[in-house]
A and B are shown apart, each in its own frame.
Chain A
C-alpha cells in the first residue's frame, strides 16, 4: 500500500528512462552482485556432491545481478515510479548521532585519535541531541530536557535494575565521589542530579503556548 508514493505522471518527463526508481535500484543490485563476486573470487566452488564455500554465494550473486539487469532493462521499457525526494539532513545527523554514541560509550581509538570511555551519561545525550536535529521541528531546549530525563531513566533501568554490563560514566568521574560510595550510589546520585537539571531547564525557558497540531510519522502501512 503506497499511500505516500505519488503516481508518476505519464507526461512531462524527458529522456529514454521511463522508471528512474527501477533504474537506480537495478544499478544498486548489479553493484552489490559485482562486489560479492569479487569478494568470493578466491573461494573454491566445489562440486554439487561436495559444495565448496564459494558456490552458494556465487549463485546468489549471479541471481541478484540478473534481477538488477532485468530491472535496468525494464526501466527503459515500462513506465514506473520516479525517484523520491532525498534529504541529506536526516540520514547525516541520525548516523552522526549513532556514531557519537558508538565512539563515546567506551574507550575508542582509531589511528591517532583516541577517546576515553565516557559512558552512557555522555553517549546518551549526544545521540539524542545530535540525532534529534535530523528533524526540522527540532528545538535545542526540548532535546536537552529530553536527554536529561531519558538518560537517568536508562541509567537506572539498565545499569541499576537490570545490571547490564553497560558503562555508565567515566572512571575519573566515579573517583570524584567519597571513597565509601559504591558504583550504584554514584549512579543513583548522578541520575537524581540529571533529573533535577531537566526540571530546571524545563521551567527556565518559560512555557511555549500549547498547540494541538503535532508532527506524526505516517507509516503508510509499512512494517
Chain B
C-alpha cells in the first residue's frame, strides 16, 4: 500500500508539470475532435501524429498519444447521441438509446451521464492499472520464450473470437497479418524474405504505413461508398446534469459497466471493444422492463459508456507490463516508445518509473480534463459535425500523406499507404475485418522470435509448449475459447451480441 501511494505520488509529480499538463490537454482535445468526427479514428490519427512527438521527451509523447486514444472514446459518444452515427466504433451501442434520449429532448442528460460514467470508469481503471502494474510485471519476469509465445497465441485466439462475422475469415486475417510481418530480413540468418529485391522492404513493412493504409486510406475509400445525406441541424441539448432519478437509475449500470470493461480491457486480443456490447446485453437482461431498451433507457447509455472507457484504459496493462500490445492503438504506442529508445515490457517500470507512473497519473488528469472539454464545450463540438465528409476526407488524405512522409522522409512510404489502402478496401469488400490482421502483424515478429528461441532451447521439441505449466495453461485457455466460439449455440449468442 505504501508502495502504491508513493508510486502514485511520483506519477502525479510527473503528470502535473506544466509541459505534461499541456500535452495531456492537447492529446485530449485532439482525441475529442477525432472522436466527434465520424470517419477519423484514433489509429490513423496517432499514426499521423507520430512525427510530431519526435521532438518531445518520451513521457510527454506517450502522455499526449494516450490522451488521443481515451479522448476519442469520450468524443465518440457525442456523435452517437446527437446524430445517431457512432463517432468511434466502440460507441455503436451508445447510439441505440442515446439517440432516442436526444429525440425525447434529453440529449444533455445522455451526454452528461456518458461523461460522468466515463469519468468514474476512468478513475477506477487508473487505480486498477496502478494496482496491477507491479504484480503483473513480476509475473512477466518469470515468463520464458515458450510462455510468451503461448500468451500471444492466446491473444490472437481472443482476437478471432471477438472479431465480427465469420471465424474462418478472422483466422485467415490473423495468418495474413503474421505472414506480412515475416517480410524483410530474417533476424537470425540475415537472409531477405519476400522483399521482391526492393530496398525499402529489407527492413520489413513499416507498421505505421500498414496501419495508415488499412485504417486511414481504406476507411476513406469505404466511407466514400457509404456516405449518407443527413440533417445534422442542432437540436436543443437541454440540461446537462442528470437529476436524482437519473443517477439512481444509472449508478449500478455504471459500476457493472466499469467492472466488465476493465476486465475485458486487460485481455490481450482487443477485448476492450467487446465491453460496451457485453455491458448493454447485461443491462438489458437485468432490467425489470427490457422493452425500454432501444427507446431511450438511460442504463443503455451509462453502462456501455463506462465499459468503453474502462476498457480503453486497462488495455494499457498488457503493453506496460508484458510488452505485448493488445490492439492496434497500443501497437502504435510501441512504435512511439521504440522511436525514443524504450523497449516496452516489464523493464519499463523499473528502468523508467517516471514514464510508467507519469503516464498512469496523466490518465486520471486527462479524464478530469475531458469532463471539462466535453460538457461545457459541447456546443463547439456539435458545430464541427456540420463539416461535410466531402471536405473532410481530402484534409485527412493530406494529413496522412504528410504524417507518413515525415516519419522516414521516404516518398515510397506515401505510395505504400495508397497500395495498402486499396488492399484494405478489397478486404473490406470481401467481408474481412482488417483489425485482426493488424494485430497479427504486430505480434508476428515477437511470436516468431519467441517460437524460434523456445525451440532452440528445447532442441526442436514442440512438447516444450505443453510441458511448461504456464504455457500449457495459456494454450488450453486458447483452445477452449476457440472450441466454445465454434459451438453452434455459443456462436448464435455471439452473433446476437454483435447485431444487437
A residues with CB within 8 A of B: 1-2, 4, 21-22, 24-25, 28-29, 32, 36, 39-40, 43, 47-54, 56-57, 60-61, 63-64, 67-68, 70-71, 74, 81, 83-87, 90-91, 94-95, 97-99, 101-103, 105-106, 108, 120, 123-124, 127-129, 131-132, 134-135, 137-138, 142-143, 146-147, 150-151, 154, 158, 162-166, 212-223
The complex places the Cα of A141 from the Cα of B223 at a distance, in Å, of 22
Checking A106, A127, A146, A222 against B411 with a beta-carbon cut-off of 8 angstroms, the contacting residue is A106
A123 CB → nearest B CB, Å = 7
| Cross-chain contact B456 with A127 (CB below 8 angstroms) | no
**Proximity bits, B398-421, A CB within 8 Å = 1, else 0:** 110110011001011011011001
| Cross-chain contact B179 with A36 (CB below 8 angstroms) | yes
| Cross-chain contact B39 with A219 (CB below 8 angstroms) | yes
| Cross-chain contact B219 with A222 (CB below 8 angstroms) | yes
Report whether over half of chain B's contact residues are helix, strand or loop; otherwise say mixed. Answer: helix
Across-interface contacts of B5 in A (CB, < 8 A): none
Across-interface contacts of B83 in A (CB, < 8 A): 216
- Answer whether A51 and B452 are a contact pair too, CB < 8 Å, given A40-B193, A87-B225: yes
Given A2-B164, A25-B431, 12 other A-B contacts at CB below 8 A?
A49-B456, A70-B168, A129-B394, A132-B390, A132-B394, A137-B390, A162-B55, A166-B409, A213-B229, A216-B388, A218-B38, A223-B41
B178 part of interface (Cβ distance < 8 Å): yes
Interface Cβ pair total, 8 Å cutoff = 280
A-B contact pairs, 13 of them (CB 8 A): A24-B430, A36-B179, A53-B186, A56-B451, A57-B193, A64-B176, A134-B224, A158-B51, A162-B55, A164-B54, A217-B389, A218-B38, A223-B215
In the complex, which residue of chain A has the Cβ closest to the Cβ of B87?
A219
Across-interface contacts of A24 in B (CB, < 8 A): 429-430
Across-interface contacts of B227 in A (CB, < 8 A): 135, 137, 215-218
A39 CB → nearest B CB, Å = 4
| Cross-chain contact A48 with B462 (CB below 8 angstroms) | yes
Count how many chain B residues have C-beta atoms less than 8 Å from C-beta atoms of the other chain.
Answer: 100
Across-interface contacts of A4 in B (CB, < 8 A): 226
List 3 tightest A-B contacts by C-beta distance, closest first.
A49-B460, A217-B39, A25-B430
B171 CB → nearest A CB, Å = 6
The complex places the Cα of A146 from the Cα of B273 at a distance, in Å, of 35
B471 part of interface (Cβ distance < 8 Å): no
**Proximity bits, B212-246, A CB within 8 Å = 1, else 0:** 00010101111111111111110000000000000
